[in-house]
Amino acid sequence: MDWEGLDQQIDDLERMISSAFSPLSGRRICDRYGMFGQMVYDWRPAWEKAREIQELFKSRVRYPTASQRDNAWTRFNSVRNELSRRSNADREAVFSVSKSWRDKIIDEIEHAKYSKLGDVIFFFDPTTAEDMKRLGELLKEAGRVLSENKHQMLREHKDECFQRIQEVRQTHDAFWGEYKKARELRQQEHRQKIRDVLARIEGNISSNQDKKAKAEAALDRAEANISKLNGMLESARSDEHQERVQGWLSEAEEKRASIQESITRIEEWIDQDERRRADILAKQR
């Protein structure tokens, strides 16, 4: 590359950093209080461009005069310093916004926390299922806020919130585990009945699928026979032979229709059992 090309590269870098029509991608960030609302940019392409220019200078691109080369180097450093200033400012803004959302979400998570120790201490006023449902909604809301604003947060802050949500959710799960044990004995018989019904349905489905497979194989044979008879009909040389083949063909077509009807009926049985199984499973959720 000649010196004019290198100057153009510096111009391109300056335009990436300073122009109102910069090609850099940007996004608007806003903290939990609705402050900032500013654009921040992905400066990585600009830094890559700066590294390329640095390498070009190292390659000793020749300028007409040493003074012109020094001026180009000074201008490049000035542009690179501006890049550093702007990228650092954006980094600080992103950190501030991210931390603001982290603090808000963590606060909401803490309000959703369940303490088993608290139930032991305040045994006269234990946490109820309705209380846990309310705490669950608070935790869900914290998760929603995290999901909606994760694009404005740094990974470290997102991970911190996610980890805390997981920890609090584990306390919820522990509560519901104990709560459900109290109902388990009453539901065992019902669950066993459901399992028996599902087993019978699965058996019916499996049996009908086998029947369907056999019927489909029979249908293939019937189709092959019909094709063969059609060939025989076309080559029949006498009316008597043609009439006889036509009779065979009619019987084969009737058999095919009967098999198709059987397949349709079997498919209806399978569909009925699958829908019945789905209905039962849906009610168990």
Rounded CA gap, 211 and 265, in Å? 11
Q: How would DSSP label each residue in 156-224?
A: HHHHHHHHHHHHHHHHHHHHHHHHHHHHHHHHHHHHHHHHHHHHHHHHHHHHHHHHHHHHHHHHHHHHH
- Mean pLDDT over 198-215 rounds to 95
pLDDT higher for 240 or 220? 220
Beta bridge partners of 29: 38
Domain ranges of the chain: 1-94, 189-284
Measured from the Cβ of residue 113, the count of other Cβ atoms closer than 10 Å reads: 15
CA atoms within 13 A on the CB side of 79: 25
DSSP class of residue 152 equals: G
Distances (CA, A) of 12 to 77, 229, 281: 14, 79, 62
DSSP class of residue 25 equals: -
Residues 6+ apart with CB under 8 A from 195: none
What pLDDT digit, counting tens, does each position of 6-56 carry?
Answer: 999 999 899 888 865 567 776 766 766 665 567 777 788 889 999 999 998
Q: What share of the chain is helix, strand, coil (3-state, %, to 5)?
A: 80, 5, 15
Res 262: pLDDT: 95
Residues 6+ apart with CB under 8 A from 88: none
Rounded CA gap, 10 and 203, in Å? 75
Beta bridge partners of 30: 36
Distances (CA, A) of 74 to 15, 51, 62: 17, 15, 16
Rounded CA gap, 242 and 233, in Å? 6
pLDDT higher for 94 or 204? 204
Least confident of 131-140, 184-193, 211-220, 245-254: 184-193
What percent of the chain is modeled with pLDDT above 90?
Answer: 50
- pLDDT band at residue 252, thresholds of 50, 70 and 90? very high
Res 170: pLDDT: 92
Rounded CA gap, 9 and 16, in Å? 11
Res 122: pLDDT: 62
**In terms of pTM, does the model score above 0.75?**
no
Res 72: pLDDT: 93
Is residue 265 scored above 80 in pLDDT? yes
pLDDT higher for 277 or 117? 277
What pLDDT digit, counting tens, does each position of 154-198 carry?
Answer: 899 999 999 999 999 999 998 898 888 877 877 788 888 999 999
Rounded CA gap, 170 and 177, in Å? 10
Res 278: pLDDT: 92
Which stretch, 91-100, 114-123, 256-265, has highest mean pLDDT? 256-265
Res 179: pLDDT: 85
Token output for 12: 């391109």
